[in-house]
Amino acid sequence: MNFKKASRNKNFDDFVNGVSADNNENKQIKMMISLPKEMLAKINEKTKRICTFGEYIKNTILEDSQYFSDEAIVEIYKKATWSNLAISDFIKFSLGFIDYAKPEVLDKNREVNASRLVTYTSDIREALKQRAKAQNLTLNNFIYIKLKVILETQNIFNEKELSSLIKQSNQANQTLINLISNKILKKDEKCA
Protein backbone atom coordinates (compact mmCIF):
# COMPACT_ATOMS: atom_id res chain seq x y z
CA MET A 1 0.00 0.00 0.00
CA ASN A 2 1.18 3.42 -0.89
CA PHE A 3 0.24 6.22 1.45
CA LYS A 4 0.32 9.86 0.54
CA LYS A 5 2.25 12.17 2.77
CA ALA A 6 -0.10 14.63 4.45
CA SER A 7 0.89 18.24 4.68
CA ARG A 8 -0.62 21.01 6.74
CA ASN A 9 -1.76 23.85 4.60
CA LYS A 10 -2.81 27.38 5.53
CA ASN A 11 -6.54 26.60 5.45
CA PHE A 12 -6.13 23.77 7.92
CA ASP A 13 -4.14 25.96 10.34
CA ASP A 14 -6.76 28.73 10.09
CA PHE A 15 -9.49 26.21 10.78
CA VAL A 16 -7.72 24.86 13.87
CA ASN A 17 -7.05 28.35 15.22
CA GLY A 18 -10.65 29.39 14.61
CA VAL A 19 -12.09 26.35 16.37
CA SER A 20 -9.97 26.79 19.47
CA ALA A 21 -10.84 30.51 19.74
CA ASP A 22 -14.57 29.85 19.36
CA ASN A 23 -14.55 27.26 22.13
CA ASN A 24 -12.98 29.67 24.62
CA GLU A 25 -15.32 32.56 23.79
CA ASN A 26 -18.59 30.66 23.96
CA LYS A 27 -17.78 28.58 26.99
CA GLN A 28 -20.78 28.23 29.29
CA ILE A 29 -20.07 29.08 32.92
CA LYS A 30 -22.38 28.25 35.80
CA MET A 31 -22.68 30.80 38.59
CA MET A 32 -24.38 30.51 41.96
CA ILE A 33 -26.30 33.66 42.90
CA SER A 34 -27.37 33.97 46.52
CA LEU A 35 -30.25 36.35 47.31
CA PRO A 36 -32.84 36.68 50.10
CA LYS A 37 -35.90 34.47 49.62
CA GLU A 38 -38.23 37.50 49.59
CA MET A 39 -36.28 39.05 46.73
CA LEU A 40 -36.27 35.78 44.79
CA ALA A 41 -40.04 35.55 45.21
CA LYS A 42 -40.47 39.11 43.86
CA ILE A 43 -38.25 38.36 40.88
CA ASN A 44 -40.04 35.07 40.15
CA GLU A 45 -43.41 36.83 40.29
CA LYS A 46 -42.15 39.61 38.03
CA THR A 47 -40.55 37.33 35.42
CA LYS A 48 -43.16 34.57 35.35
CA ARG A 49 -43.68 33.49 31.72
CA ILE A 50 -41.69 36.49 30.44
CA CYS A 51 -38.03 35.55 30.79
CA THR A 52 -35.80 33.28 32.83
CA PHE A 53 -34.21 34.26 36.12
CA GLY A 54 -30.76 34.36 34.51
CA GLU A 55 -31.93 36.62 31.68
CA TYR A 56 -33.55 39.00 34.17
CA ILE A 57 -30.37 39.21 36.26
CA LYS A 58 -28.22 39.77 33.16
CA ASN A 59 -30.48 42.48 31.74
CA THR A 60 -30.92 44.27 35.06
CA ILE A 61 -27.23 44.34 35.91
CA LEU A 62 -25.86 45.16 32.45
CA GLU A 63 -28.43 47.86 31.61
CA ASP A 64 -28.39 51.27 33.23
CA SER A 65 -31.17 52.14 35.64
CA GLN A 66 -33.93 54.52 34.64
CA TYR A 67 -33.09 57.08 37.34
CA PHE A 68 -29.69 56.17 38.85
CA SER A 69 -26.14 55.39 37.78
CA ASP A 70 -24.38 52.35 39.26
CA GLU A 71 -22.28 54.58 41.54
CA ALA A 72 -25.41 56.32 42.81
CA ILE A 73 -27.17 52.99 43.39
CA VAL A 74 -24.36 51.76 45.64
CA GLU A 75 -24.19 55.07 47.55
CA ILE A 76 -27.97 55.24 47.96
CA TYR A 77 -28.00 51.71 49.36
CA LYS A 78 -25.16 52.46 51.79
CA LYS A 79 -26.67 55.74 53.02
CA ALA A 80 -30.20 54.37 53.32
CA THR A 81 -28.93 51.36 55.28
CA TRP A 82 -26.78 53.58 57.48
CA SER A 83 -29.75 55.91 58.09
CA ASN A 84 -31.99 52.90 58.81
CA LEU A 85 -34.51 54.04 56.18
CA ALA A 86 -36.28 52.26 53.37
CA ILE A 87 -34.57 53.05 50.08
CA SER A 88 -37.64 54.70 48.56
CA ASP A 89 -38.17 56.84 51.69
CA PHE A 90 -34.51 57.87 51.70
CA ILE A 91 -34.68 58.96 48.05
CA LYS A 92 -37.95 60.88 48.44
CA PHE A 93 -36.71 62.54 51.65
CA SER A 94 -33.42 63.52 49.99
CA LEU A 95 -35.25 65.01 47.01
CA GLY A 96 -37.65 66.91 49.29
CA PHE A 97 -40.84 65.10 48.24
CA ILE A 98 -41.59 64.00 51.82
CA ASP A 99 -40.89 65.91 55.03
CA TYR A 100 -40.38 62.98 57.38
CA ALA A 101 -38.92 59.55 56.75
CA LYS A 102 -39.92 56.89 59.25
CA PRO A 103 -37.02 54.63 60.32
CA GLU A 104 -37.33 51.06 59.14
CA VAL A 105 -37.22 48.26 61.68
CA LEU A 106 -34.75 45.76 60.33
CA ASP A 107 -35.27 42.13 61.22
CA LYS A 108 -31.96 40.37 60.72
CA ASN A 109 -33.62 36.94 60.74
CA ARG A 110 -36.01 37.64 57.88
CA GLU A 111 -33.33 37.79 55.17
CA VAL A 112 -32.68 34.08 54.77
CA ASN A 113 -30.66 33.52 51.63
CA ALA A 114 -31.45 31.06 48.91
CA SER A 115 -29.21 30.26 45.97
CA ARG A 116 -30.02 29.95 42.29
CA LEU A 117 -27.79 28.49 39.61
CA VAL A 118 -27.55 30.46 36.37
CA THR A 119 -25.54 29.79 33.22
CA TYR A 120 -23.82 32.54 31.24
CA THR A 121 -21.20 32.71 28.54
CA SER A 122 -17.76 33.79 29.66
CA ASP A 123 -18.20 37.18 27.92
CA ILE A 124 -21.34 37.99 29.87
CA ARG A 125 -19.77 36.85 33.12
CA GLU A 126 -16.78 39.12 32.50
CA ALA A 127 -19.09 42.06 31.76
CA LEU A 128 -20.94 41.41 35.03
CA LYS A 129 -17.65 41.19 36.92
CA GLN A 130 -16.41 44.46 35.38
CA ARG A 131 -19.57 46.28 36.52
CA ALA A 132 -19.06 44.96 40.06
CA LYS A 133 -15.33 45.65 40.04
CA ALA A 134 -15.95 49.27 39.02
CA GLN A 135 -17.86 49.70 42.30
CA ASN A 136 -15.26 47.78 44.35
CA LEU A 137 -17.78 45.07 45.23
CA THR A 138 -17.97 41.34 44.77
CA LEU A 139 -20.27 40.19 42.01
CA ASN A 140 -22.83 38.71 44.41
CA ASN A 141 -22.95 41.89 46.56
CA PHE A 142 -23.31 44.11 43.51
CA ILE A 143 -26.14 41.97 42.14
CA TYR A 144 -27.90 42.09 45.53
CA ILE A 145 -27.55 45.87 45.93
CA LYS A 146 -28.58 46.73 42.39
CA LEU A 147 -31.57 44.37 42.43
CA LYS A 148 -32.72 45.66 45.83
CA VAL A 149 -32.58 49.29 44.71
CA ILE A 150 -34.19 48.56 41.32
CA LEU A 151 -37.03 46.53 42.84
CA GLU A 152 -37.75 49.12 45.55
CA THR A 153 -37.58 52.14 43.24
CA GLN A 154 -39.43 50.84 40.23
CA ASN A 155 -42.47 53.11 40.53
CA ILE A 156 -41.03 55.54 43.05
CA PHE A 157 -42.10 58.83 41.46
CA ASN A 158 -45.65 59.83 40.67
CA GLU A 159 -46.42 61.92 37.60
CA LYS A 160 -46.19 65.27 39.41
CA GLU A 161 -42.83 64.46 41.01
CA LEU A 162 -41.39 63.16 37.75
CA SER A 163 -42.49 66.22 35.77
CA SER A 164 -40.95 68.44 38.47
CA LEU A 165 -37.64 66.57 38.20
CA ILE A 166 -37.67 66.73 34.39
CA LYS A 167 -38.32 70.47 34.54
CA GLN A 168 -35.43 70.97 36.99
CA SER A 169 -33.09 68.89 34.84
CA ASN A 170 -33.97 70.93 31.75
CA GLN A 171 -33.34 74.19 33.64
CA ALA A 172 -29.98 72.94 34.94
CA ASN A 173 -28.96 71.49 31.54
CA GLN A 174 -28.37 68.08 33.13
CA THR A 175 -29.67 64.64 32.40
CA LEU A 176 -32.35 63.32 34.72
CA ILE A 177 -29.98 60.67 36.08
CA ASN A 178 -27.29 63.24 36.93
CA LEU A 179 -29.76 65.62 38.58
CA ILE A 180 -31.29 62.95 40.80
CA SER A 181 -27.90 61.48 41.72
CA ASN A 182 -26.41 64.88 42.57
CA LYS A 183 -29.39 65.91 44.70
CA ILE A 184 -29.49 62.67 46.65
CA LEU A 185 -25.77 62.29 47.23
CA LYS A 186 -25.21 65.90 48.29
CA LYS A 187 -28.04 65.96 50.84
CA ASP A 188 -26.89 63.04 52.94
CA GLU A 189 -26.31 65.11 56.10
CA LYS A 190 -30.06 65.79 56.49
CA CYS A 191 -30.86 62.12 57.03
CA ALA A 192 -28.36 61.57 59.80
In a domain, 9, yes or no: no
67-93 pLDDT, tens digit per residue, is: 888 999 999 999 998 988 889 999 999
Q: How confident is the model at residue 177 (pLDDT cuts 50, 70, 90)?
A: confident
In a domain, 1, yes or no: no
Percent of the chain with pLDDT over 90: 25
Sign of CA dihedral 136, 138, 142, 144: negative
Cα 148–chain centre separation: 9
**Residue 108: its pLDDT value, please?**
59
Sign of CA dihedral 168, 173, 177, 183: negative
In a domain, 21, yes or no: no
In a domain, 6, yes or no: no
In a domain, 46, yes or no: yes
In a domain, 32, yes or no: yes
Q: Which residues of 58-69 are buried (b: 16+ CB within 10 A; e: fewer)?
A: beebeeebebbe
> Range of 52's domain?
27-104+112-190
Q: What pTM did the predictor assign?
A: 0.77
Is residue 183 scored above 70 in pLDDT? yes
Q: What is the mean pLDDT of the chain?
A: 83
In a domain, 150, yes or no: yes
Inter-residue contact 77 to 83 (CB < 8 Å): no
- Which is higher by pLDDT, 43 or 107? 43
138-172 pLDDT, tens digit per residue, is: 999 999 999 999 998 888 888 999 999 999 999 98
If one counts the domains in the chain, the total is 1
- Which is higher by pLDDT, 42 or 110? 42
**Residue 25: its pLDDT value, please?**
54
**Residue 101: its pLDDT value, please?**
81
Is residue 18 scored above 70 in pLDDT? no
In a domain, 84, yes or no: yes
